[in-house]
Structure 1
Amino acid sequence: MQLSINEKNTIQNFASVMTDSSKVISELIQNSRRAGATEIHIHYDKILNVFQIKDNGSGIDNFENLITLSESGWNKDTQENDSPFGMGFFSTLFAADAVIVESNGQILTIDTKKALNFEDIPAPTASPNKMEQGTSITLHGFNTDHGINVSSKVFDLALYSSIDIYYNGKLQSSSLSFRHFQKNNRVVQTPFGQLVIEHPFSTTLTLVCQDLLIGERKTYSNVLYLNNTIEMRMPDRDIILNADKFNKESYAWLKTFWTNELIQIRKDMNNDVAFLDKYFSHVMTFCKSILNDINYLPKDAFRETQKYTCRDDFAADGVPKGFTKAELQDVLVHNIDDFNGSSCNIANQFFYYANAIELCEALPDDHWAYEGIFKLEQCANDDFEISTSSGEIMEYSLEYGMVGDALIVDTDVEILHKPTGKIVTVSPDNAFALFTECEGFYKDISVNGKLESPEFVIGKDAVIEDELLLQVKSYRNEFDDNNDTELSEDRRSLTSQVSAFKADDVKQILSDLIGHIPPVLQSKLAGHKLTATIENGRLIFA
């Protein structure tokens, strides 16, 4: 027994595979390129549904090769460099009703329906057009059933083409072809092909094989024009075989390449401060181990400690300058990037009021910056003590939120970090939250030796802001993200209650609580003297 093939069924089965007429366009352009053409002219008449491609290549010597499956007919060099599959022209039989080929003074007309039924194809005859050079292929009844946009397809193919392509008389852009793209960009030879670098230090690649874009062009990418060592899926050459292996190997090569680039740049600059100020993010990506040899970190390695809030858009600002190793010893530094929850919300208050900065990058484990840093494991709430010499508890209630206690203080508040003995002083013009409901956690404050557990500590001179309420998780859970009006009303209410609590003048207290009288009531109340009593927490006018 031997392998055999049913020729007729095989050919007919191709009809279900070759349904994308846009592939025909790319195959015919490929054939023109292999024929040594320097120009390709494509014409498409949408009304007559006629597609034509002409080139100035070497032409066709043997028309029999066109209609022989898997017989490319190309010379030895082309076969070695391009590995033609022998199906380019064959695909036209599934994309049109009739195909007319003119080359080297001959013309061949193919009725595709008859040809695919294995009926005889008339031999080429002398061409009346007497083409002196190149090849012309015309497809009558071009198949556009799958919504192919001929103009867009030609435009996309021309972008990466090594030869000029004209569509209906207009030269198409080939700005991403190697011949043009290399002019204004650096070219590097890689084991995989020629790399044109538009974005230094990018490891993202846009791949091009034999003038064809593989996949899609990626943002912030460099273009790699693949050589013939990369095996592609045939016949479309649209997917790399063993893609995972290729991706790993190409990324490893790029990482080594950019590492060497950075090492050379550092050597050429001969200024480590200037080098890290400019290339720190790339050093972190490719070769952060060299940071151990540099006694400096740029500002991009740090950010300020912002007062914690439960808002989703909580973000910290950067710092204005970098620090040398000696300078950093005089700065309070931590590496806690998330103060959410009960575990370290007091640490946030400690670092915020100490004007501490956060080391926001993961440096090498043995980097010198970690020597004196405050780490997460030593910044739990139990690692802190809070105290003040005087203060009074005020009960408050908020219409849209909660009820509870606030400590009103008129002296400094001290936050002690017990493991280090470091003390941070919070003046009476500040306010912060002690309570978070993430695990039902309360943090006590010592007021002249007596422990209290209020939600808020509010200095007598503090301006209460919306974010104070949002430091408390239980309030955040009730708060409607889309309704800042409710938040503002609660903030104003708390401000009024604190003002009233601190005031001694009863009339002033009532004025603060009642607030501004709307204009519609001002005329009605003008001149009236009102007598009021307080019953069950309500103000009753006689």
Structure 2
Amino acid sequence: MTTTTTLATAPAQIPEQSVVAGVNEKKLFSTMKHLFATSFSLVGELMQNARRSGATQILFNFDPEAKTLEVIDDGCGISDFGKLLALCDSGWDEKVTLADSPYGMGLFSLHFACSRATFRSNGLKLQTSLDDIVNKRQLVAVIDNDPVRLGTVLQLEGLSKDLLGKSIGPHFGRSTANASSRMEACIIELAMGFPIDVQFNGVSVPRPHALENLQTVLTPVGQVHIAHIMARDHDKNVRGDELDVVAGRALYLQGLPIQVKNEIYAQTVVHLDSQRFAAIMPDRKALYNAADQLEELRVTLRTLVQQFLVEQKASLPAETFVAKYWTACLRHDVPTLLNDIPLLPRQIISTIETLAADSESRLGYLPRETEFISWKQILNGEFKVWRDVPSYLGNSEGEQAGALWRVMQLENVVEVDTNGLDAGHWIFEATPSAVDFKVAITHSGIIASDSTYFDDSAVDVHLVKSVQVVVTSTTDPSFEIATAVDRGWILEEVGHDSSGEVTQFKCFVTESGSSWDFPGTLLSSYRDEHEVYREEWEDDARKSWRSVVAGLKGASLADQLAAALPDVRMSLGNHNLGQMALIYGAADGSDPSVQNVSPQMEIVDLNAPEFWLALANLLATAAGGSPEDLKKAFLTAAGSLVPGAGLMANSSTETRIQGSTS
């Protein structure tokens, strides 16, 4: 069978179409309000117009009750009222156009912020409304009966609800903290770096970032002020943020804030060059192509700081330079400035205060009087300094972080933070790296053993007389530190999962001495699912640990009970007065020949008649009535009431049971 496909044929002739771009003006004008970030966009536009007109000041008279805003400037005024309503035709002369690149759109924002606007300038007056704009009515600038001869007066009536709100607190830092309205807060924010006087209801607004109030240097990106550098206030130490040119900086374009929320106490203030930097139209709230423009700014600021640091190193004593500018050298990518200075500042040196998983709890600092550690002090052994010390426990097999921290604590070894230093810094030749360490842990022999858990980590606990830890280096055969641990405890990592993370540990506890810290602080943070520290969890773990250690060290049952009872919640009443109970340390099993038993506690109620009957029968048949005979009779009578305890008053059981009455 043959299938035939037939293609439809095109018409004999298709007429050509002529296309030209067009704009639905009515639709555009009615929806333009969505182009502007907020209703307050008009404030910045009016300030810009005043500056461009050559004004020396701009006044805002705001009456929220009457819903009016009057704006007055002393600039050149309006020469062509027709330009006010011409979209994308700014009306500015060539000089202003070249300097600012005005879009000719911003003034339209005011028609969405009020019901009527009245422009008065050069003896003429023009009234407009949004309805006039949308319907393209022919408007006439009429003779002003009360003519404005200098500058421009703009009167806005029927302000929108957004412009009448109360202040909601500071927006760009603390500058607007005392603003009574959102309008005042907006003007305060916009005026911080503005070049001419700005007044709100008759009071000049502070302009701390205006160029006239700053010491600046001209750079490829514009005028830059970095407080510490330009003010030359070098008598004080530099805080970490004072040479941070990224966080807390203030950026301005044509006098108005852009891109970031400018804080009044910003350490870095930049007035961007409007020939190199452009803003997103129409209301210029953000930089165009911001990522690239901000990177250019970052490189320029970094270069400025780097040049300053080079100058400071050449002029300051080494101690002063390190104390002030160590962090700045690392932050601004000039670590090589530190290579030939034989000093380390105290802020990069840490001591081991206690053994804990949390570095904030574990690490301490040098005494305040020790400001530096020198190359010479390290070389002659006055300070033992290690680098690349493990930052947390159980990171990988063989690392033995817990043991290393204990050695550092006992041997007074400090850790140096080399993060950010140049590879040619002398510290890398003068100190060993823990990455190259091998840790060997030996002990004098196990006396007793038990086991416990901390979170999900299993710990085998062994009582020993002493432990020795030997630390060697795989890259330096001459390096060896042998540390004896004869008081307290030390943790050894012995088991790990498939990812290499350590999950099984041995803890060696010495027969003599004690330590206020315990393995739980290494193996748990005692924080819940919301990262809230739970003190009661740690307290419970400490009590459990003390009980394990006490048992290993042979504490009597009475001593262990005396230590544990204060933490036991019991409800006691008058009916308990005079009552007695006997607690046995009993073997789990009845064969007295078994030596490795699991001790457990058995409780006998001494108010039970059966106990006294059994004791009376034993005493009646006991020979001699000596204290030893009485003890045997007492224990045998109690044992007869413990099912399966297998207690007998003979020499073998005497070594396996203890009694305590309460």
TM over 0.5: yes
In structure 2, which of residues 377, 387, 398 is the aligned counterpart of residue 334 of structure 1?
Answer: 387
Taking the aligned partners of 1:17 and 1:37, their CA distance within structure 2 comes to 30
Q: Paired residue for 1:446?
A: none
Which of 437, 448, 471 is residue 417 of structure 1 equivalent to? 471
Q: Which residue of 2 aligns with 1:300?
A: 347
Partner in structure 1 of residue 114 of structure 2: 96
Counterpart CA distance in 2 for 1:156 and 1:364 is: 42
SS at match of 1:283: helix
Alpha-carbon distance in 2 for matches of 1:244, 1:198: 25
Distance in structure 1 (CA, Å) of the matches to 2:417 and 2:74:
61
Give the Cα–Cα distance (whole angstroms) in 2 for the partners of residues 294 and 234 of structure 1.
Answer: 51
Residues 12, 506 of structure 1: CA spacing in aligned structure 2 closer, same or farther, 3 A cutoff? Answer: closer
- Name which of structure 1's ranges 165-174 and 504-513 shifts more when overlaid on structure 2: 504-513
Partner of 2:648: none
SS at match of 1:471: helix
Secondary structure of 2:216's counterpart equals: strand
Within 5 Å, give how 1:314-353 maps onto structure 2: 314-320=361-367, 321=370, 322-329=372-379, 330=381, 331-341=384-394, 342-343=396-397, 344=399, 345=401, 346-353=403-410
User: 1 CA distance for matches of 2:538 and 2:288?
Assistant: 58
Report the more deviating stretch, 464-473 or 366-375.
464-473
Deviates more, 1:350-359 or 1:144-153: 144-153
CA gap 1:15/1:262 in 2 versus in 1, 3 angstroms:
closer
> What SS does the aligned partner of 1:203 have?
coil
Q: How far is 1:371 from its partner?
A: 1.8
Q: Is the 8 A contact 2:357 2:525 kept in 1?
A: no
Q: Secondary structure at the match of 1:275?
A: helix
Q: Which digits, 9 at most, give the CA deviation of each residue in 1:60-82, with x for residues without a partner?
A: 22222222333333233222222
1:62 partnered with 2:62: no
| CA offset digits 1:368-415 (Å, max 9, x no partner) | 211243324323xxx22112335512325579988864222334x221
More deviation, 46-55/308-317: 308-317
Aligned to 2:128: 110
1:224-250 deviation per Cα after TM superposition (whole angstroms, max 9, x unaligned) = 011222222333222223322222222
Q: CA RMSD in A?
A: 3.7
1:262 Cα deviation (Å)? 1.0
How far did residue 93 of structure 1 move?
3.5
Give the 3-state SS of the residue equivalent to 1:73 in structure 2.
coil
- 2:186 alignment partner, one of 153, 156, 168: 153
Distance 1:95 1:410 in 2: 84
Q: Which residue of 2 aligns with 1:188?
A: 217
Q: Give, as a single letter, the amino acid of the residue that structure 2 aligns with 1:538.
A: M
CA contact (8 A) 1:465 1:491 kept: no
Q: Which 4+ runs in 1 deviate beyond 6 A?
A: 398-403, 440-443, 473-478, 515-530
User: What secondary structure sits across from 2:509 in the alignment?
Assistant: strand
1:232: which partner in 2?
A: 279
Shift of 1:36: 1.7
Distance 1:227 1:399, change over 3 A: closer
Aligned match of 2:93: 75
User: 1:193 is matched by which residue type in structure 2?
Assistant: G
Asked whether the 8 Å contact 2:280–2:287 carries over to 1, the reply is yes
Correspondent of 2:536 among 476, 485, 491? 485
Q: What is the rounded CA distance, in whole Å, between the counterparts of 1:373 and 1:96 in structure 2? A: 72
CA distance in 2, matches of 1:89, 1:188: 33
- Contact 2:527/2:534 (8 A) holds in 1: no
Compared with structure 1, are the counterparts of its residues 64 and 351 closer, same or farther at alpha carbon in structure 2 (3 Å cutoff)? same
Question: Residues 390 and 61 from structure 1, CA distance in 2 versus in 1: closer, same or farther, beyond 3 angstroms?
Answer: same
1:482 Cα offset (Å): 4.7
Q: Does 1:36 align with 2:54?
A: yes
Partner of 2:250: 206
Verify the 8 A CA contact 1:500 1:512 in the aligned structure 2: no
The equivalent of 2:417 in structure 1 is 360
Q: Paired residue for 2:295?
A: 248
Q: CA offsets per residue over residues 487-512 of structure 1, 9 Å max, x none?
A: 32342343244335434767656655
**1: CA distance, partners of 2:501 / 2:268:** 54
- 2:392 equivalent to 1:392: no
Amino acid corresponding to residue 8 of structure 1 in structure 2: E
Is 1:167 aligned to residue 209 of structure 2?
Answer: no
Flag structure 2 segments of 5+ consecutive residues without an equivalent. Answer: 1-17, 166-181, 229-241, 589-599, 605-637, 639-662
Distance 2:501 2:128 in 1: 87
8 Å Cα contact 2:123/2:147 also seen in 1: yes
How far apart, CA to CA, are the structure 1 residues paired with 2:70 and 2:88? Answer: 23
Equivalent AA in structure 2 for residue 210 of structure 1: Q
Q: CA deviation at 1:304?
A: 1.6
Aligned mates of 1:387, 1:83 — CA distance in 2: 78
Letter in 1 for 2:471: H
Q: Structure 1 519/143 Cα, relative in aligned 2: closer, same or farther at 3 Å? A: closer
Cα gap change, 1:326 to 1:439, in 2 (>3 Å) = farther
Distance 1:88 1:405 in 2: 75
For the Cα contact (< 8 Å) 2:342–2:375, is it kept in 1? yes
Number of the residue aligned with 2:632: none
Structure 1 runs not aligned, ≥5 long: 444-452
User: Following the alignment from structure 1 to structure 2, what is the Cα–Cα distance between the partners of residues 228 and 216?
Assistant: 17
Mean alpha-carbon deviation: is it higher for 26-35 or for 460-469? 460-469
Aligned to 2:607: none
Residue 14 (structure 2) aligns with: none
Contact 1:503 1:509 in 2 (8 A): no
Deviation string 1:137-192 (CA, Å, 9 cap, x unpaired) is 11223334588743332222222322222223333222332223x1xxx3121111
Aligned residues: 522
Q: Distance in 2 between matches of 1:112 and 1:13?
A: 8
Q: Hey, what does 2:511 align to over in structure 1?
A: 460
Matched with 1:450 is none
Q: Residue 375 of structure 2 contacts residue 430 of structure 2 at CA under 8 Å; is this kept in 1?
A: no
Provide TM-score, normalisation by structure 1. Answer: 0.83
Conservation of the 8 A alpha-carbon contact between 2:195 and 2:212: yes
Whichever residue aligns with residue 553 of structure 2, its letter is K
Query: Could you tell me how far 1:32 is from its partner in structure 2?
Result: 1.3
The residue that corresponds to 1:449 in the other structure is none
Amino acid paired to 1:275: F
> Is the 1:353–1:424 Cα contact (8 Å) retained in structure 2?
no
Q: Is the 8 A contact 1:298 1:323 kept in 2?
A: yes
Q: How much does 1:335 deviate?
A: 1.6
Q: Does 1:276 align with 2:322?
A: yes
Question: Measured at CA, do residues 474 and 437 of structure 1 come closer, stay the same or move farther in structure 2, by a change above 3 Å?
Answer: farther
The whole-number CA distance in structure 1 between the counterparts of 2:125 and 2:341 is 74
**Cα drift, residue 299 of structure 1:** 1.8
| Distance (Å, rounded) in 2 between the aligned partners of 1:377 and 1:21 | 60
Paired with 1:5 and 1:454, the residues of 2 have a C-alpha distance of: 78
- Residue 86 (str. 1) matches residue 94 (str. 2): no
> What residue is the counterpart of 2:484 in the other structure?
426
Q: Distance in 2 between matches of 1:193 and 1:128?
A: 45
